Chains A and B, each alone.
Chain A
Amino acid sequence: MSTFPPTRGFGVGRMKTAGMLVAGGWLLVAGWVQAQPAAASAPATTLRSPSQFSSIADDKARSQALFVEAGKVIQHPRCLNCHPNGNRPLQGDGMQLHQPLVLRGKDGFGTTAMRCASCHGAQNFQATRSFSVPGNEHWHLAPLEMAWHGRALGEICKQLKDRSRNGGKTMDQIIDHMARDELVGWAWSPGAGRAPAPGTQKEFTDLIKAWADSGAHCPT
Chain B
Amino acid sequence: MVTRRTVLLGSAGLAGALGALMVGWTAMPPRPRLVTSDPLPTGPGQSALNGWVKIGADNTVGIVMCKAEMGQGIYTGLAMVLAEELDADWAQVRVEQAPIDKIYQNVAGIVESLPFHPDDHGTLKAIAERITGKAMREFGLMLTGTSSSMRDLWLPMRQAGASARAMLVAAASQEWGVKARECRVEAGRVLHPSGRSASFGELAAAAASQPLPDAVVLKDPKTFKLIGKPRKRLEAASKMDGSARFGIDVLQPGMQYASVEMCPTLGGRVASFDATDAQKLPGVRKVLALPPLYGSTGGVAVIADTPYHAMRAVKAVRVEWDDGVAANLSSDEIYQRLAQSLDTDEGFHFYKHGDVDAALKSAVKTVKAEYRAPYLAHTTMEPMNCTVQFKEGRATVWAATQVPDMARRSVAKVLGLAVEQVDVQTQLLGGGFGRRCEVDVIAQAAAIARESGGAPVQVIWSREQDTTHDFYRPACVSRFQAGLDASGQLLGWLNTSAGQAIMPQVIERMLGLRAAVPDRTTSEGAFDQPYEWPSARIGHEAVELPVPVGFWRSVGHSHHAFFKESFLDEVAHAAGRDPVAFRAALLARRPRHLKVLQRAAELSGWGQPLPAAADGTQRARGVALHQSFGSIVAQVAEVSVSPDKRIRVHRVTCVIDCGLAINPNLVRQQMESGIVYGLSAALNDEVRIEKGQVQQTNFHDNPVLRFDECPVIDTEVIASDENPEGVGEPGTPPVAPAVANALFTLTGQRLRRLPLKLA
Contacts and interface: CB of A to CB of B under 8 A. Distances in A.
A99 B315 contact: no
Contacts of B464: 128
A128 B706 contact: no
A128 B314 CA distance: 11
A13 to B, nearest CB: 52
B230 interface: no
A35 interface: no
A100 B315 contact: no
Interface in B659-718: 697-698, 700, 703, 706-708
Contacts of A128: 315, 462, 464, 697-698
A101 B700 contact: no
B700 A99 contact: yes
A100 B706 contact: yes
A181 B649 CA distance: 43
A106 interface: no
Contacts of B698: 128, 131
A129 B315 contact: yes
Nearest to B646: A97
A197 to B, nearest CB: 21
Interface string B449-493: 000000000000010100000000000000000000000000000
Contacts of A101: 706-708
| Chain B interface mostly | loop
Interface in B246-276: none
Interface in B279-332: 315
A99 B462 CA distance: 21
B711 to A, nearest CB: 15
Contacts of A129: 315
Contacts of B462: 128
A100 B704 CA distance: 10
A104 B698 CA distance: 25
Interface residues of A, number: 6
A88 to B, nearest CB: 11
A101 B697 CA distance: 20
Contacts of A99: 700, 703, 706
Interface string A118-130: 0000000000110
Contacts of B707: 100-101
Interface in B706-749: 706-708
Nearest to A193: B700
Contacts of B697: 128
A129 B317 CA distance: 12
B421 to A, nearest CB: 38
A33 B707 CA distance: 39
Interface centre among A99, A128, A129 (most CB of B within 10 A): A128
Interface residues of B, number: 10
A131 B467 CA distance: 15
B69 to A, nearest CB: 28
Contacts of B706: 99-101
A120 to B, nearest CB: 14
Nearest to A130: B697
Nearest to B464: A128
Contacts of A131: 698, 700
Interface string A81-100: 00000000000000000011
Nearest to B703: A99
B223 to A, nearest CB: 48
A89 to B, nearest CB: 14
B106 to A, nearest CB: 38
Contacts of B315: 128-129
A213 to B, nearest CB: 42
Contacts of A100: 706-708
B132 to A, nearest CB: 45
A81 B634 CA distance: 42
Nearest to B644: A97
Contacts of B703: 99
Contacts of B700: 99, 131
B463 to A, nearest CB: 9
A110 to B, nearest CB: 15
A131 B462 CA distance: 14
Nearest to A129: B315
A129 B707 CA distance: 29
A38 to B, nearest CB: 16
Interface in A126-148: 128-129, 131
A77 B719 CA distance: 56
Nearest to B462: A128
B61 to A, nearest CB: 41
A151 B315 CA distance: 42
Interface string A134-177: 00000000000000000000000000000000000000000000
B501 to A, nearest CB: 34
A131 B315 CA distance: 13
A196 B700 CA distance: 20
A68 B464 CA distance: 41
B460 to A, nearest CB: 15
Interface string A17-36: 00000000000000000000
A101 B698 CA distance: 17
A100 B315 CA distance: 28
A6 B315 CA distance: 62
A3 B40 CA distance: 93
A23 to B, nearest CB: 38
A128 B700 CA distance: 13
B701 to A, nearest CB: 10
B419 to A, nearest CB: 38
A100 B706 CA distance: 7
A127 to B, nearest CB: 8
A191 to B, nearest CB: 14
A140 to B, nearest CB: 21
A77 to B, nearest CB: 15
A131 B708 CA distance: 26
A101 B708 CA distance: 8
A100 B700 CA distance: 9
B313 to A, nearest CB: 13
Nearest to A133: B700
B86 to A, nearest CB: 45
A211 to B, nearest CB: 35
A100 B464 CA distance: 19
B351 to A, nearest CB: 42
A59 B315 CA distance: 54
A129 B319 CA distance: 14
Nearest to A96: B700
Interface centre among B315, B700, B706 (most CB of A within 10 A): B700
Interface in A49-108: 99-101
A100 B462 CA distance: 21
A182 to B, nearest CB: 25
A101 B703 CA distance: 13
Interface in B347-362: none
Nearest to A92: B700
B695 to A, nearest CB: 12
A101 B462 CA distance: 24
Nearest to B700: A99
A50 to B, nearest CB: 38
Nearest to A128: B464
A125 to B, nearest CB: 13
A129 B464 CA distance: 11
A131 B701 CA distance: 12
A100 B699 CA distance: 10
A47 B462 CA distance: 39
Given A100-B708, A101-B706, A131-B698, 7 more contacts: A99-B703, A99-B706, A101-B707, A101-B708, A128-B315, A128-B697, A131-B700
6 shortest A-B CB distances, which residue pairs?
A101-B708, A100-B706, A128-B464, A129-B315, A99-B703, A101-B706
Interface of B: 315, 462, 464, 697-698, 700, 703, 706-708
17 contacts: A99-B700, A99-B703, A99-B706, A100-B706, A100-B707, A100-B708, A101-B706, A101-B707, A101-B708, A128-B315, A128-B462, A128-B464, A128-B697, A128-B698, A129-B315, A131-B698, A131-B700
